Homo-oligomer: A and B are copies of this chain.
């Protein structure tokens, strides 16, 4: 048919991968999943589509502008824009059927109609864990140990989990009598890394805060040292606020317990400038940076909240959790040349076809390899053997098995190792051993 064609293309802001990259992306997803399960998080999944009213509990704001609404007569529905709001709805809806503390992981795509910008995605994976129904700050300490294991298992060595406690910052602002603009101040502090001292100072000045108080805030968020030193400095500041003191005690306990949970000191530390200004956290907060790639920003963030599902239920549900934005992390790693895509398939063996009359034997060998858990594909088309080798080479299939007249007579197969080009005639059992020895 010679119809006019529709251009095959995607809207911008959507990441789509070739198989060689998809294989690596899926391995990363699987690594995160296995680590979450290792720490006793159970899987749930929620529908991508929910009632708009349920998702947008607070109307107005950035979120409402970004949400993808569906255009259907009848129910007002939208795509979820994170996994926390659906979790809140889930826990409230299924409260009686769940056991608390409820430890769940959830790894799904979410959608946001972000404005177009390089490296910003409108569809991306979030990999979340949360523990719901406990106020125990030991759980706040367990979360970094999960983050540590995840990033180690993903192959990272040099990263830092930064921790802070919102009570300390809020206590300070209470003490300075500027609580009424605390959200705005937190948001400004959050930009310290990116925008520098001068612009942040201007932003806080614009809120009508005196130079004296601004100095106090900025001196405060720049307190550096070991965790012990920071805690002792904080204690010596003489800030008379119960909230502030309570925050220090929590932060101290979290910092000490993280070490007890096996995370090396070099991989975590208190950073008083971590504010997570846009979020609803009420206690411990986390950010994670890859020290060799600070420009990537935080690759895993989260914190503690007093009340997860207040919009849906009177049940008070405190908890703590984190989220890894995998799509963005993958994109940034790829951009930095850290994603080494090789195989374009997961097949370890290609059964080549020399002649139709040996097909039966080839199929039997394929079945035998598969029974031995070896991913095996068959080249069905009658093509020149050189073309079949080229196919294996392009997909980076490590082994090709050839069965011809001679092999049939000897009851053997020829096994070609694609990386070296070496080819030898062996029994099927020997071939299986050689193949299984290669990861």
Contacts and interface: CB of A to CB of B under 8 A. Distances in A.
A414 to B, nearest CB: 19
Contacts of A5: 311-314
A57 B123 CA distance: 23
A53 B8 CA distance: 10
A70 B69 contact: yes
Given A38-B370, A40-B375, A312 B395 contact: no
A72 B69 contact: yes
A94 to B, nearest CB: 6
B11 A57 contact: no
A308 to B, nearest CB: 11
Interface stretch (A14-22, A210-218, A238-246): A14-22
Nearest to A71: B71
Nearest to A19: B42
A97 B18 contact: yes
Interface residues of A, number: 100
Interface string A132-167: 001010110010000001000000000000000000
A89 to B, nearest CB: 4
B136 A261 contact: no
Contacts of A8: 54, 88-90, 92-93, 309, 312-313
Contacts of A314: 2, 5
A286 B191 CA distance: 58
Interface stretch (A44-52, A194-202, A415-423, A425-433): A44-52
A376 B38 contact: yes
Contacts of A360: 260
A97 to B, nearest CB: 6
Interface in A368-407: 370, 373, 375-378, 380-381, 391, 394-395
Given A5-B314, A8-B92, A377-B103, A14 B138 contact: no
A333 interface: no
A88 B7 CA distance: 12
Contact of A380 (B70, B139, B363): B139
A40 B109 CA distance: 26
A206 B423 CA distance: 65
Given A72-B68, A310-B3, A23 B42 contact: yes
B260 A18 contact: no
A42 B377 CA distance: 11
Contact of A37 (B109, B134, B375): B375
Interface stretch (A173-181, A225-233, A289-297, A339-347): A339-347
A10 B47 contact: yes
A376 B40 contact: yes
Contacts of A1: 307, 310
Nearest to A261: B363
The 7 closest A-B pairs by CB, nearest first: A40-B377, A71-B71, A8-B92, A40-B347, A8-B312, A14-B47, A8-B93
21 contacts: A5-B311, A5-B314, A7-B312, A9-B54, A9-B93, A10-B51, A10-B93, A17-B44, A23-B42, A37-B375, A38-B373, A38-B376, A40-B346, A40-B347, A42-B395, A49-B122, A69-B70, A69-B71, A71-B71, A134-B380, A138-B380
Interface of A: 1-3, 5-11, 14-19, 22-23, 25-26, 37-51, 53-54, 57, 68-72, 75, 77, 79, 88-90, 92-94, 97-99, 101, 103-104, 109, 111, 113, 122-123, 134, 136, 138-139, 142, 149, 260-262, 307, 309-314, 344-347, 350, 359-360, 363-364, 367, 370, 373, 375-378, 380-381, 391, 394-395
Given A18-B44, A25-B45, 20 more contacts: A2-B314, A6-B57, A8-B54, A9-B54, A10-B47, A11-B49, A14-B47, A16-B46, A19-B42, A19-B43, A39-B370, A40-B376, A41-B345, A49-B122, A69-B72, A70-B70, A72-B113, A149-B370, A261-B363, A262-B364
